[in-house]
Structure 1
C-alpha cells in the first residue's frame, strides 16, 4: 500500500536545461555577450555529478548544493571567458536553479497525485532551493526531503532511507519517481517501489542515457499525468 511518493526533481519534474539557458541568455544580452545559453547550461551541469562525488566519497564534508553550484559556476564563467560580473550578479545567476520551470505535465500530474499520496522531494537540491523552486513553479509538495537532511547525496542509501524514517514509513510504503534509471535502481534496492518517467529531451543533443526504462519498474510512463493514471488518481 503506497502512502508516499518521492520525486527526483532536476530533469524529472523541472526542465533545468532550458530554464538555465533562458537565464543566461538574458544576462548575456544585458552584458553584450555573444554566447550560447544552451552550451552554458550543459557545461554547468556537467560539473554536477563530479562535485557531489567528492562529497559522497568522504573526501569533502557535506556542503549544500547551492555551494557546489556556485563553485561550479565560477569555473564555467572562466571556461567561457566571462569576467567582470559582481559578486551580487554571480549570486543571482546561481539562484537560477531556484527558478527552474516545471515540465508542462508536472503540476497537473502532481496535483492529481496529491489527492491520494504524500508528495515529497527526494532531490540533491538543498531545502531553500527546493522551497523557492516550488514557490516559483507552483509545485505542490507536502514535504521537502533529500540530500541536505541526510547529509549525503543520492544515490547513497542514507538519502532515501532518511526520507522514509522522517515520514515514519517503511521503504515498501514509498515509491521513488524519477527520469533516471540509476536513481530508481538505488531506491529499488532498498525496497522502495519505483516509477519511471521518460524525459528524452532533458539534456538535448547531449542526452545519451535514460531515453527509456531499462528495468521492469512498478510504473513506466511518459509523463507525470501518466503516472497519475496508473496510480488511479
Structure 2
C-alpha cells in the first residue's frame, strides 16, 4: 500500500469506533426489566441493527432522504416491538432505546489513545451513516476530537452510494486516492475502493456481541488489515 499518498483517514463510526451492541442491549434490558419482560435481548439488539442499517443504506438514491439514522433506529424499533410482542414498551422506552442509547454509545477502548497519534499525521474525520447530532454527542461523551464530521445526513446520499464517498473526498479537497477509508465492514470499504479510496480493515470480532459479525474476514484486496487501532498506528508509523 502506498501509505505516503494518504492525507486523510475517514472513519466509519458506528461499529468501528462505537460499541452499538452493548448500548442497545443495555437499553433493551432496562426497558424489559421495567415491564417484567424477559427476551433474548442480545439477539433482538442485532435484529434492530440489521433493520435500521437496511433502512438507511443507499438512502437518497432516487429522492432526497426524509429521515436520518435516528429516524431509522426508531422505525426499526417499532417493527421490533410489533414482531416480538413488546407492546408494553412506552413512548419513553422507545425514545430511550432508539435515541438516548445510541447518543450515549461508548467508544471501543483501543481508539481514544490512537486518535491523537493518527491526527499528528493525517486529517481524521468521522464519515458516517449516523446523524450529525449522534456523532457530536458521542464525541463529547467519549472525549473524541474529530477534525471534521461528514454525516451522510448532510451529504444527502447515504453509503454505499458512490456519491457519498466522492463528496467526502471533494469536501476534504483531496483526490479519493489520498483518502483512507477505515472500517470493520467490507461493504463500506468495497464501495470506497470503487471510487478510488485506499481501504483499511480493522477487525471488530465483538461488534455483534456473542454473534459472529456478518463479514468477520477482511476482503484480501484491502490495502491494510489490522487487528486493532494500536496496530494501525504502528503500521502507519504514527
Which one of the candidate residues 71, 85, 90 is aligned to 1:86? 90
Q: 1:186 is paired with a residue of what secondary structure? A: helix
Q: 2:97 is paired with a residue of what secondary structure? A: helix
**Which residue of structure 2 lines up, in the alignment, with residue 8 of structure 1?**
12
Between 1:37-46 and 1:77-86, the stretch displaced more is 77-86
1:68-87 alignment, distance < 5 Å:
68-87=72-91
Pairwise CA distance, 1:130: 1.1
**Which residue of structure 1 lines up, in the alignment, with residue 195 of structure 2?**
190
| Whole-angstrom CA distance in 1 between matches of 2:194 and 2:163 | 12
Structure 1 contact 172–191 (Cα < 8 Å) conserved: yes
Could you say what the CA RMSD is over the residues aligned between the two structures, in angstroms?
A: 1.9
1:1-233 alignment, distance < 5 Å:
1-53=5-57, 55-58=59-62, 61-95=65-99, 96-207=101-212, 209-233=214-238
Compared with structure 1, are the counterparts of its residues 25 and 176 closer, same or farther at alpha carbon in structure 2 (3 Å cutoff)?
same
Describe the superposition over 1:87-145 as per-residue Cα deviations: whole angstroms up to 9, x where unpaired.
Answer: 33322221211111111101112222122211111110010111112122222211110
TM-score scaled by length of structure 2: 0.89
Compared with structure 1, are the counterparts of its residues 185 and 53 closer, same or farther at alpha carbon in structure 2 (3 Å cutoff)?
closer
| Whole-angstrom CA distance in 2 between matches of 1:203 and 1:28 | 20
| Whole-angstrom CA distance in 1 between matches of 2:169 and 2:68 | 21
Where structure 1 has 5 or more consecutive residues not aligned to the other structure, the ranges are none
Pairwise CA distance, 1:157: 0.9
- Which runs of structure 1 show a deviation greater than 4 angstroms over 4 or more consecutive aligned residues? none
Pairwise CA distance, 1:223: 0.4
| Whole-angstrom CA distance in 1 between matches of 2:114 and 2:216 | 20
Where structure 2 has 5 or more consecutive residues not aligned to the other structure, the ranges are none
Between 1:17-26 and 1:172-181, the stretch displaced more is 17-26
Pairwise CA distance, 1:37: 2.4
| Whole-angstrom CA distance in 2 between matches of 1:160 and 1:153 | 9
